[in-house]
Chain A
């Protein structure tokens, strides 16, 4: 499988303190990969590195044949202001930004696509609701509908199923599997190993450094989980400094 993302000795971090250290891995084009690891393992940092929001401290991340416009990203903690007076349909419509930009016309065809995306996440009838009146699960469905409209070849999800009920989770996993079926590459940070085992064929286990990467059943072993915990606990001491000049 040709790689969609190539992590080449990648170190990422904040204020020169690495959260991801010298990662070497390839994410296959069209793969459905879970990123797992203990808290503080650098999973969210890794996704920020892929989006380009965080510059590497060393090494590089290569996104083969994809531009920034081909990436859709769902962050762990959305900066969406829930008190903002905007309706579900208007927020979902933002997913068409790359097509319409700041001045483009929405038109009937695009309006139909918006309605389809809202229907695909089970929110038909909620179109005109202000986002402030939605539950956490409904809001997550709205964000998935927006992702659907982005029509991206690479989808990055940071803990997309946290704090939502099982039915919402099942529906949204269906959406993720739909992306996988269409040949899109999906990289999702997850905590629940049962969900990973059931729905994600590939897994990358991180504990600041790479613990294991490959088929999920070979990665999610008790031995790897123990190693990951140990590696993260070893990193809880005083932070060391990493940078381009570091060896």
Chain B
């Protein structure tokens, strides 16, 4: 029974194994970035950036069809352009970052959907918006695993800087000139992981695997390394259960994965040991000092 339900789909079908590997790669690479997005109170920035990569990917699609390379490069260029332009508008005008980012990502989203829908079919549009996790080929898997490896390496290198930039940006600016570099390297990591997620889960779902596990982890641990470990575990679990639900009940895979992550998030809100509803209402020991 357990074999048939849990293991047989992966043992029998190569596309399920590929989908699982792709999702694990995204979980390892994107969720630590999501943890820092959440800690920097930039969760919605991730959402905006996910939409911002759409016109680049769409132009890549326009030039080379459903080409992995063209859509990846297009997405990266579009994402970084929006990040830099919104940062520039924030610095040289009276507009705050949230408003300038919202303006750019809405323009990007409209432009992207327009390009895909005028030159492609509805199937292409669905592919771009919701991804094709069950159709990941060797090239796509190599790309996802490479991005995950690069992402983990950069986060390890920048870990202390990222923590300081999140906790006390003013202090980092006063003791180090690396603040701006850290900020833009982090934004590049966000874009890179969203592009990876975009191939598997589509532009609209990519940010879900980044943010939902991080938000769920916040209810279980109070340390940054703990947050990363729990978030990656939640993302992997959601990927596996989501793929199985998709297989057994013929559901679209991307939304199934994100919904499972959403259910874990909902359960964490209620049962989480660190700030969950039940933990808050039940009597606690005071800190020993």
Contact = CB atoms under 8 A, between A and B. Distances in A.
**Chain A interface helix/strand/loop/mixed:** loop
Q: Interface majority SS on B: helix, strand, loop or mixed?
A: helix
Which of B39, B173, B175 is packed against the most chain A CB atoms within 10 Å?
B175
A53 B222 contact: no
A73 B174 contact: yes
A92 to B, nearest CB: 12
Interface in A62-91: 69, 71, 73, 75, 78-81, 84-86, 91
Interface residues on B, range: 20 to 34
Contact of A81 (B157, B160, B167): B167
Given A84-B167, A130-B222, 11 more contacts: A75-B170, A85-B39, A85-B222, A85-B224, A86-B224, A91-B168, A94-B167, A101-B176, A102-B157, A102-B161, A146-B171
A97 B170 CA distance: 13
A101 B161 CA distance: 9
A53 B173 contact: yes
B168 A78 contact: yes
Contacts of B175: 69, 97-98, 150
Interface string B213-249: 0000000011110010000000000000000000000
Contacts of A103: 157, 160
A53 B289 CA distance: 38
A221 interface: no
B224 A102 contact: no
Interface string B9-45: 0000000000000000000000000000001010000
Interface string A89-110: 0010010011001110000000
B227 A85 contact: yes
B176 A79 contact: no
A51 interface: yes
Interface residues of A, number: 27
Which one of B160, B171, B287 has the greatest number of beta carbons of chain A within 10 Å? B171
B164 interface: yes
Given A79-B169, A86-B224, A51 B163 contact: no
Contacts of A86: 163, 167, 224
A113 interface: no
A125 B287 CA distance: 11
A129 interface: yes
B63 interface: no
Contacts of B166: 81, 84
Contacts of B39: 81, 84-85
A85 B223 contact: yes
Contact of B158 (A53, A94, A102): A102
B178 interface: yes
Given A98-B175, A102-B178, A80 B222 contact: no
B219 to A, nearest CB: 12
Nearest to B168: A80
Contacts of A69: 175
B167 A80 contact: yes
Contact of B287 (A73, A133, A150): A133
Contact of A94 (B157, B168, B224, B289): B168
